[in-house]
Amino acid sequence: MANNEDKKKALDAAIAKLEKDFGKGTVMKSLLQKYDNYALSISATTRQPRPGEVDGREYFFKTREEFEQMIVEDKLLEHAQYVGNYYGTPRDYVEHKLEDGFDVILEIEIQGALKVKEKFPDTVLMFLMPPTADELKKRLEGRGTEDEATIKKRLLRAVEESQGVEEYDYIVINDVLDDCVEQIHEIIGNEHCKASNNLEKINQFRDELTNMWKGDIR
């Protein structure tokens, strides 16, 4: 498991939950293209790859047996089931990115997000949502990759997850792409500046002032 410093960096990174069907892919692509301090965590899943998806790029695609073995071996920060498939966050991938100095963003379901929050209470959760429910339905239908039954399941899941929005720290409306990206970037920047996330710097500053007052620093 990551040490305390890595955990602190994870908190500063504003671990984000971005609802699967709310246009998160386009938002994350734009954020990563515009800023180089972010790393997007790659989830493991048991669902089948969609056309054009590559193992290790969009997801780490696993069999159900492989995924359940990862659970047993505690290789996931969190995991949940969504529309009949497992999704989870590989621990090693996130810890390596944190060690490299990136702010890591997790795109995870509400179940997983709350599990991470439980383990790391200072984690920052952002809920990305469309401007209206009608817009969500249009986006789902516009993907052209899922049948009506699957869309109905996703809408039902959206209804269920809307009951837990109050557990999040921030709501970000995905209406105008550039505005959405800038709001996410600003939230993360503000989290970096919180006094509670800079206790080491504060204590160092106090020590330097005290030493200067005592004449130990010239």
Nearest residue to 10 via CA among 103, 88, 110 = 103
Say what the pLDDT of residue 158 is.
Answer: 81
Mean pLDDT in residue range 54-67: 96
| pTM (two decimals) | 0.74
Asked whether 18 and 24 are in contact (CB, 8 A), the reply is yes
Between CA 36 and CA 207 the distance in angstroms is 33
Say how far apart CA 35 and CA 63 lie, in whole Å. 34
Whether residue 108 has pLDDT greater than 90: no
Amino acid at 110: I
Q: Are 129 and 22 in contact (CB under 8 A)?
A: yes
Which residue has better confidence, 146 or 98?
A: 98
> What distance in Å separates the CA atoms of residue 35 and residue 79, rounded to the nearest whole number?
28
- CA dist 59 and 163 (Å) reads 27
In this predicted structure, what is the pLDDT of residue 157? 78
Residue 88 — φ and ψ, nearest 5°?
A: -160, 165
CATH of domain 4-214: 3.40.50.300
